[in-house]
Every structure is written in C-alpha cells, then in structure tokens.
C-alpha cells in the first residue's frame, strides 16, 4: 500500500472507530460487535506502525497513551471551577428561591440535574482537539491528568466542530465497575476503596495511564466554562450544545418552572437513586437563563444562581 492509499485508509478508520466508539460509550447503542471494532483498531495500529507519520494525537489508537509519569504537572484554570452552596431540606431550597426572586423578579425557570458523585474535571479543546484535561484541585489550580482522562472512552479526542472550548464535568466509576474492582482487590488481599468516588479519584491519580484505562471510568459533562462565547442563552441550551459536539451529558435533567417542581424532582430522585448504575449525592439546581445568572453573579467561591441539594447520608447497613 502506498503512502496516499495508507493516508486515505487511516482517515477512514478514524471516522469508523470514532463513530463506533461514540455509539457504544456515549449513546450506549453500538451498531457493530466489539470484534469489528477490535479488528479495525488492529488495522489502524498496523498502518501507524508502517507509516509512523500517520499516527496523530487524536488517533483512536492513542487513548491509552504514553509512559508512566513521574508526577502530575500543575494547571492554572483560566476560569475558576466554582463549588456549589448546599441545601439540606425544603426550607433551604425555598430560601434559595426567595433570594433568586429578590434579584431577578418572578419570571425565570430552573434546570435540575443529578449531582454525580465523582471527581470534577476540566477538558480543554483547541480547534476541536483535546489538548488538556485537569482535576478541579482548589478551583484555581488543578493537576494535569490528560493521559488518564484520554482513557475514558466517552471523552471525544476530537469534537464535531473545530472549536477552542473548555468544558467541565464529573468523572465517575459506575457501581458495577466499583464492585468488580473491590472484589479483585479483596481477592488480592488489598485494601478495597470505600466508595465509587474514592475509586474514581484514586484511578485518575494513577501515574500509569494503563491503570486508569483498566478502571472503566466514565464521565458526564455539565458546563461550558466560557459559555458566553458560544452564543447560547441558557444552561439547557448549553447542555444540548455539549451533546451536539459529541459529549455525554446526563439525560436525567428537567426544566422546572418553579421551586415546587424542583422539590418534586428532588423527592422523586431520593426514591429512584438506588436504581441508577452510578452514584449521585444530590441534585444540582440552576437558574436557566445565562443573563439572569449574570445578574445574580457569584460569591468568592460559589454561584448565587445555583445550589446543590444534598441527599441525607444513606444508613450503612452492617
Ligand atoms: N450537573 C451539574 O451541574 C453537576 C453534576 N454533578 C456534580 N458533581 C456537579 C458539581 C458541580 Br460544582 S456542578 C455538578
């Protein structure tokens, strides 16, 4: 095969492998069997060996990247990663609602989303290519865990538009992955992880990307850091844009016209959370309009236009 033919085939294999990966890990709806994916990936790896210059950083073969790191580099978040104020009961939620009304009046709506119990991370893309992934850290300074985040198959190595954009989300370990990881640890007489959140954090803090790759992590994206540059006017539009770019956003979100609907959503999920294949530790409630978010602003560490309702700690059944 000559170089031009190899270049064309590599381009075709990127498109096929990215599409199949998207269907399996983002849509949870594969159109080809795993064996088909594996054989196409092997074909790509062989072509990259024969024509090394065709191996690009966004190649599907580059998910489980390089060497074991000595340490993680520090990353300064250009836009700080805020934390959320907490609500623990209905009264706290109604207090939050009153403060929103005082600031923006009565014409506004909320978006309610599941609060994923994982590790907050930031992903930076340049011209559509994933160039850096980092932990939240203290909100201003995080750690560069790009190699480990690239192993999460639902993270696109290249998004559908050549945008330079930074997105935020929660990396997590599904319950079933957590259970099988801890079973293997106990069999090896190693200390098991206390919960999926610790397991996800521990996996993403591994200096060897091959270990992170073995942990079956996943992610839900829930914010665009520089959302003002995208032209969207609401948080719900921002979530739709994330999905159109190829990101995995959580489907269990609801637009709520008033705080009574928010409280109903919270009560519904207190009951339903056990059925989810991942852990959630609450519900995130946001004013939907970006203009009204702007009017409400933020305190030093958290937005006035959002709050996290925290579920009561589950009784540990001994
Ligand atoms: N959907 C969301 O906004 C969301 C979900 N899960 C989380 N752990 C967090 C944390 C912050 Br801060 S926002 C958010």
**pLDDT at residue 318 in the model:** 54
The catalytic position among 115, 150, 248, 286 is 115
Rounded Cα–Cα distance for residues 97 and 260 (Å):
10
Distance 15 CA to ligand 1 centre (A): 31
What separation in Å is there between the alpha carbon of 82 and the centre of ligand 1? 10
Is 317's pLDDT higher than 80? no
Find the farthest-apart pair of alpha carbons in the chain and give their distance in angstroms, rounded. 70
- The closest residue, in CA terms, to atom 6 on ligand 1 is 115
Tell me, what's the pLDDT at 87? 98
Instruction: Check if the interface score ipTM surpasses 0.90.
Output: yes
CA dihedral 210, 60, 152, 164 (to 10 degrees): 130
Residue 113: CB within 6 Å of ligand 1? yes
Q: Exposed (0-12), middle (13-18) or buried (19+): which is 207, by Cβ within 10 Å?
A: middle
- Beta-bridged to residue 74, according to DSSP, are 143
pLDDT digits (tens, 9 = 90+) for 41-81: 999 999 999 999 999 989 999 998 778 999 999 999 999 99
Active site (annotated) includes residue 248: no
Percent share of the chain, pLDDT over 70: 99
Over residues 115-127, the pLDDT tens digits come to 999 999 999 999 9
- If one compares 316 and 130, the residue with the highest pLDDT of the two is 130
Task: Say what the pLDDT of residue 67 is.
Answer: 86
CA of 309 relative to ligand 1 center, distance in Å: 11
| pTM for the predicted model, two decimal places | 0.95
Could you report the per-residue pLDDT of 269-290, keeping only the tens digit for each?
A: 999 999 999 999 999 999 999 9
- What are the tokens at 188? 């090896």
Q: Of all protein residues, whose CA lies closest to atom 2 belonging to ligand 1? A: 222
Distance separating alpha carbons of residues 20 and 40, to the nearest angstrom? 10
pLDDT above 90 as % of the chain: 94
Q: Which of ligand 1's atoms lies nearest the C-alpha of 136?
A: 12
**Average pLDDT of the segment spanning 27-43:** 96
Distance CA 174, CA 181 (A): 11
């Amino acid at each position: 095969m000559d170089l031009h033919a190899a270049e064309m085939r590599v381009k075709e294999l990127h498109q096929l492998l990215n599409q199949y990966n998207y269907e399996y890990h983002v849509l949870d709806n594969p159109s080809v069997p795993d064996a088909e994916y594996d054989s196409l990936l092997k074909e790509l790896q062989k072509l990259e060996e024969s024509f090394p210059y065709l191996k690009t950083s966004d190649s599907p073969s580059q998910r489980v990247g390089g060497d074991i790191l000595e340490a993680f580099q520090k990353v300064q978040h250009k836009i700080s990663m805020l934390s959320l104020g907490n609500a623990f009961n209905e009264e706290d939620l109604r207090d939050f609602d009153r403060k929103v009304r005082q600031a923006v009046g009565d014409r506004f709506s909320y978006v309610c989303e599941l609060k994923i119990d994982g590790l907050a991370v930031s992903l930076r893309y340049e011209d559509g290519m994933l160039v850096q992934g980092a932990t939240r850290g203290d909100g201003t300074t995080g750690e560069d865990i790009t190699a480990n985040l690239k192993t999460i198959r639902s993270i696109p190595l290249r998004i559908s538009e050549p945008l330079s954009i930074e997105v935020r989300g929660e990396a997590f370990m599904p319950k079933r992955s957590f259970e099988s990881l801890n079973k293997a640890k106990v069999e090896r007489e190693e200390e098991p992880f206390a919960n999926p959140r610790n397991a996800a954090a521990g996996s993403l803090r591994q200096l060897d990307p091959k270990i992170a790759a073995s942990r079956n992590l996943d992610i839900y994206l829930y914010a665009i850091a520089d959302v003002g540059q995208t032209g969207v006017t609401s948080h719900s539009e921002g979530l739709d844009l994330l999905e159109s770019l190829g990101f995995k956003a959580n489907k269990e979100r609801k637009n709520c016209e008033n705080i009574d609907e928010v409280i109903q959503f919270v009560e519904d999920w207190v009951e339903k959370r056990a059925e989810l294949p991942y852990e959630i530790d609450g519900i995130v409630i946001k004013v939907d309009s970006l203009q009204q978010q702007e009017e409400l602003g933020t305190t030093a560490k958290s937005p006035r236009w959002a709050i996290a309702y925290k579920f009561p700690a589950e009784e540990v059944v001994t």
